[in-house]
Chain A
Amino acid sequence: MPYMLLAPAVLVTVFIVFMPMVQAVVTSFYDLILWKPNASRFVGFGNYVKLFADPVFWTALWNTAIWIGLTVPLQMGLGLLTALLLNREFPWRGLARALIIIPWALPSVVIALMWRWIYDPNTGVLNDILIYLSIVQSAVPWLADPNLALYAVIATLTWQGFPFFAVMILAGLQGIPKSQYEAASIDGASSWRQFVHITLPGIAPVLATAGLLRVIWVANSMDVIFVMTGGGPGYATHTLPLYAFVRARQNLDFGYGTAIAVTFTILLGAIVAVYLARTMREVER
Chain B
Amino acid sequence: MNKPSTARRILTTDLPVLIIVLFAMAPFAWMVLTSLTPTAALNATGVSVSPAGWSLDNYVRLLEQTSFLGNMMDSLIIAGGTVILGLAVAVTAAYAFSRFRFAGRKLLMLQFLLINMFPVVLLILPLFVLMKNVGILDTHFGLILANATVAIPFAVWMLTSYVGAIPKSLDEAAMIDGCSRLTALRRVVLPLTMPGIISTGIYIFITAWNEYLYALTLGGRNVRPVTVAIQTLIGEYQIEWGLLAAGAVVGAMPATILFLLVQRRLIGGLTQGAVKG
Contact = CB atoms under 8 A, between A and B. Distances in A.
B26 to A, nearest CB: 9
A12 to B, nearest CB: 6
Of listed A223, A248, A268, residue having the most chain B CB within 10 A: A223
Given A117-B31, A172-B275, A241 B119 contact: yes
A283 B114 contact: no
A227 interface: yes
B14 to A, nearest CB: 6
B210 A108 contact: yes
Interface string B95-116: 1110110100110111111110
Given A10-B108, A102-B28, A159-B23, A241 B231 contact: no
A222 B124 CA distance: 13
Contacts, number: 259
Of listed B47, B102, B118, B255, residue having the most chain A CB within 10 A: B118
A183 interface: no
A265 interface: yes
Interface stretch (A46-54, A132-140, A141-149, A203-211): A203-211
Interface string B28-68: 10110010000000000011000000000000000000000
Interface string A171-189: 1100100000000000000
A175 to B, nearest CB: 7
A113 B96 contact: no
19 contacts: A9-B152, A23-B126, A34-B129, A81-B20, A96-B17, A101-B24, A104-B259, A106-B256, A113-B230, A113-B244, A117-B34, A117-B245, A123-B241, A220-B120, A241-B121, A258-B122, A268-B117, A276-B114, A282-B276
Contacts of A265: 118-119, 122
Nearest to B214: A223
A99 interface: yes
A283 B117 CA distance: 18
Given A2-B102, A118-B27, A206 B274 contact: yes
Nearest to A93: B17
Q: Is the interface of B mostly helix, strand, loop or mixed?
A: helix
B187 interface: no
A20 B127 contact: yes
B248 A114 contact: yes
Interface of B: 9, 13-14, 16-17, 20-21, 23-25, 27-28, 30-31, 34, 46-47, 85, 88-90, 92-93, 95-97, 99-100, 102, 105-106, 108-115, 117-127, 129-130, 145-146, 148-149, 152-153, 156, 181, 206, 209-210, 212-213, 217, 226-228, 230-231, 241, 244-245, 248, 251-252, 255-256, 259-260, 263, 267, 270-272, 274-277
Contact of B125 (A13, A111, A117, A254): A254
A75 interface: no
